[in-house]
């Protein structure tokens, strides 16, 4: 099986690597290009549709290894492929024609329904800090669709710098793969290996300075795949908490959450675009394009390591509480430091500054 994993990874990487230059030419030919504007950081016209290379690498490699896989276990993979094809089609059309948000959302819901029909459903929720399991009954299907659509759009939101979405998605995919290996979930490991190979093959052309963007076709497909794999990887593991897939996708989900909070604080529409996402804030601090991407890779890696650690310490209540408390504290302090919610309202940092001043005063008094 290890050899099969390697074959799937290498095949996906090579297919994506070979197809990306062809997709680049195709994007220019059909006019699927991204022009610079006040919200973009690139300064020249760039081809989009890179997601086609990622998707075709994924599909091609899957059919290379599919004959060796258990047919019954492969049914959900077919659901991922069909749903992924819908997502890529919607994203590709948006890359070329700028579809309305309603049409894009409809396509995402349709793709999510295909996955649900194939049997990928969040039917049980394991409550953190205990062994209690809640059956979702009639809520299972709408919650699954909401999760898939939410994660799909979260990955799309962070697609603002060369190699950013691809790299963060690759780290999340690798994390899911490690956890699936720990649970001996063969089909999830295989799908993660193939997806990771496709991402790396494409990233060769997408890392700064990028020669092609993945576009909505790529960002939506990666988000859709990660959402599906996170459900598929953990739905039957009674020891796995709901918090683990949230930790794995910590970067895009937290950036989406902070975007919602920022727009609520500033009293602007939630759908309004801005230049205050995580990568924008890091650039404004003076980091270069490449440094910003690498810093966010590091943050994604920390989230991934924490999710693996969390899976190991679930039976130890105090350890879980400490880990979550530390993560939340660092997340909030970091968010306020870079100004991702508000440039002026920083209550936690202001409280810590007052606390530090108070400690200094007490120290001087005691020294006297």
- Residues contacting residue 269 through CB under 8 Å, at least 6 positions apart: 263
- Compute the Cα dihedral for 7, 13, 16, 20 and give only its sign: negative
Token pair recorded at residue 362: 């007490």
Q: Alpha carbon 212 to chain centroid distance?
A: 20
Per the omega criterion (within 30 degrees of 0), is the bond before 285 cis? no
Neighbours of 291 (CB within 10 A): 14
Q: Which residue has the tokens 């879980």?
A: 320
Q: What is the DSSP letter of 135?
A: E
- Compute the Cα dihedral for 257, 262, 268, 272 and give only its sign: negative
Residues in binding site for Mg(2+):
156, 216
Q: What is the DSSP letter of 131?
A: S
Token pair recorded at residue 146: 């909401």
What value does the CA radius of gyration of the chain take, rounded to a whole number of Å? Answer: 21
Q: How far is CA 63 from CA 11, 56, 194, 230, in A?
A: 10, 11, 11, 22
CA distance 228 to 97: 27
Give burial (CB, 10 Å; 0-12/13-18/19+) of 325.
Answer: exposed
Residue 91's closest CA among 143, 127, 54, 116?
Answer: 54
Q: How far is CA 32 from CA 20, 35, 93, 173, 182, in A?
A: 14, 10, 9, 27, 41
Residue 327's closest CA among 238, 248, 256, 241?
Answer: 248
Q: Which residue has the tokens 């194939």?
A: 118
Residues in binding site:
156, 216
């Amino acid at each position: 099986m290890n050899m099969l994993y390697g074959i799937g990874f290498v095949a996906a990487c090579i297919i994506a690597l070979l197809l990306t230059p062809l997709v680049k030419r195709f994007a220019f030919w059909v006019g699927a290009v991204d022009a610079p504007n006040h919200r973009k950081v690139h300064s020249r016209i760039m081809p989009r549709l890179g997601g086609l290379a990622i998707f075709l690498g994924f599909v091609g490699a899957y059919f290379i290894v599919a004959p060796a896989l258990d047919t019954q276990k492969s049914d959900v993979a077919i659901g991922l492929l069909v749903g992924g094809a819908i997502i890529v089609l919607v994203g590709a059309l948006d890359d070329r024609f700028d579809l309305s948000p309603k049409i894009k959302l409809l396509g995402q819901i349709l793709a999510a329904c295909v996955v649900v029909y194939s049997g990928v459903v969040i039917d049980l929720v394991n409550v953190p800090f205990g062994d209690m399991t809640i059956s979702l009954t009639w809520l299972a299907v709408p919650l699954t669709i909401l999760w898939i659509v939410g994660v799909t759009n979260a990955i799309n939101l962070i697609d603002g710098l060369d190699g950013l979405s691809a790299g963060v998605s690759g780290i999340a995919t690798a994390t899911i793969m490690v956890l699936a290996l720990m649970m001996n979930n063969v089909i999830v490991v295989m799908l993660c290996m193939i997806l990771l190979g496709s991402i790396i093959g494409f990233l060769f052309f997408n890392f700064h300075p990028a020669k092609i963007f993945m576009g909505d076709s790529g960002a939506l497909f990666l988000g859709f795949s990660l959402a599906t794999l996170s459900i598929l990887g953990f739905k039957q593991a009674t020891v796995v908490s709901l918090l683990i897939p949230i930790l794995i996708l910590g970067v895009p989900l937290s950036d989406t959450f902070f975007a919602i909070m920022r727009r609520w604080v500033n009293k602007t529409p939630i759908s309004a675009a801005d230049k205050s996402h995580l990568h924008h804030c890091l650039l404004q601090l003076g980091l270069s394009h490449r440094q910003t991407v690498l810093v966010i890779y590091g943050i994604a890696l920390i989230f991934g390591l924490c999710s693996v650690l969390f899976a190991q310490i679930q039976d130890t209540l105090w350890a879980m509480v400490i880990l979550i408390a530390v993560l939340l504290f660092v997340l909030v302090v970091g968010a306020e430091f870079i100004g991702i919610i508000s440039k002026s309202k920083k209550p936690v940092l202001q409280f810590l500054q007052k606390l530090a001043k108070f400690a200094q005063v007490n120290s001087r008094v005691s020294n006297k």
